Copies of this chain bind each other. A is one copy, B any other.
């Protein structure tokens, strides 16, 4: 199953201090001098083309990756071929934390569009975070945030019905686009219905039908991957007003 992964390594110096994502990413909370130290550690960037793997399950773990541009999905595949999308990641978010535990990656990370990541060698990150307290703390927060996010997904998969799951997904996407300075109400999804379905524990047809339903009810305007949210409170109501 191994295949050659085409990789582009860009050897120009990266500057976290110049990065407009620093408020979302590892540099958050660091002072300018500390950010410079982090800069020295981020050795290279890597460009990943759409549909290509950033890393694969089983590969040895060397670095974590901060998304500089583009977006990714992570998935887990069972022996029998079933797969589950475990997350979608956007700029400023960190990939690869799953690998720390066993020194090998336990999922696949695949670019949803042409993307670029900052490569952060993990042993050097641990080293620096031993002297830079704010970096240590921010890194811990990022890991913890991932755990909290996962619990949210478990809630979604374990206790919500199809339309609630999709509403939660759309609201989450909206919020994350907003945090990146994009419109809260209008955006392009980079993943297919099938990928959304896998993430939400639904079949693609069910996702499609739920979209159509939302459209009929005037909650959103859907045109393929282009989404316009028309009634945010309506979507939120869908989530909480569940007759227990």
Residues in A lying within 8 Å of B, measured CB to CB: 74, 76, 78-84, 86, 97-102, 106-107, 126, 129-131, 133, 136-137, 140-141, 143-148, 150-155, 157-160, 198-201, 239-242, 244
Contact of A137 among B126, B151, B242 (CB under 8 A): B126
Contact across chains for A158 and B155 when beta carbons are under 8 A apart:
no
CB distance from A99 to the nearest CB of B (A): 7
Select the residue from A74, A78, A241, A244 with max chain B CB neighbours within 10 A: A78
Contact across chains for A84 and B155 when beta carbons are under 8 A apart:
yes
Q: In the complex where A130-B133, A159-B84 touch, is A101 in contact with B144 (Cβ < 8 A)?
A: yes
Contact across chains for A136 and B140 when beta carbons are under 8 A apart:
no
Contact across chains for A80 and B241 when beta carbons are under 8 A apart:
yes
- 12 A-B contact pairs sorted by A residue (CB < 8 Å): A76-B151, A80-B242, A84-B158, A97-B147, A98-B151, A100-B143, A101-B144, A102-B148, A126-B133, A129-B136, A130-B131, A154-B157
Contact across chains for A100 and B151 when beta carbons are under 8 A apart:
no
CA distance A99 to B145 in the complex (A): 9
Contact across chains for A244 and B82 when beta carbons are under 8 A apart:
yes
Contacts of A100 in B (CB 8 A): 140-141, 143-144
Contacts of A98 in B (CB 8 A): 144, 147-148, 151
Contacts of A200 in B (CB 8 A): 158
Contact of A150 among B126, B145, B147, B159 (CB under 8 A): B147
Contact across chains for B130 and A201 when beta carbons are under 8 A apart:
no
Contact of A80 among B79, B144, B244 (CB under 8 A): B244
Contact across chains for A143 and B151 when beta carbons are under 8 A apart:
no
CB distance from A152 to the nearest CB of B (A): 8
Select the residue from A131, A151, A241 with max chain B CB neighbours within 10 A: A151
- Assuming A100-B141, A126-B136, A130-B133, what are 10 further A-B pairs, CB within 8 angstroms? A74-B151, A76-B154, A84-B155, A98-B147, A107-B151, A126-B133, A126-B137, A130-B131, A150-B150, A157-B158
Contact across chains for A82 and B242 when beta carbons are under 8 A apart:
yes
CB distance from A86 to the nearest CB of B (A): 5
Contact across chains for B159 and A83 when beta carbons are under 8 A apart:
yes
CB distance from A122 to the nearest CB of B (A): 9
CA distance A231 to B137 in the complex (A): 46
CA distance A158 to B239 in the complex (A): 19
